[in-house]
Amino acid sequence: MLFFTLGRKQGQVDERDRLIMAKAPRVQLLAVIFSLVAWSIALTESYWDEGQIPVIFPYLMFMSTLIVSTLAQSIGILIGYWEMERNG
């Protein structure tokens, strides 16, 4: 969990933080699935006639999935805090 490795000590984490961190992987998982679906559809449509994709694309898929996963976790945490503030 990225949130806990950024310098927070165990005593500084309350139940609100734990609840937000429990919900953040849902956003992360959805973002990764949608990015892989987008890659699959785009590559299938682009290279249908050739019957295979160029070798570079699996590497690009892997790297972009790592980036999307990291960004989506951060976005999930931000959404969690916004929801907590909105709901009081």
pLDDT 10s digits, 62-71: 999 999 999 9
Whole-number Å distance between alpha carbons of 27 and 32: 9
User: What is the model's pTM?
Assistant: 0.75
CA distances from 83 to 36, 68, 88 (A): 27, 22, 8
pLDDT single digits (tens) 8-35: 566 677 788 888 888 889 999 999 999 9
- Considering only CA atoms, which of 57, 25, 55 is closest in space to residue 40? 57
- Residues 73/24, Cβ–Cβ less than 8 Å: yes
Whether 24 and 80 have beta carbons less than 8 Å apart is answered as yes
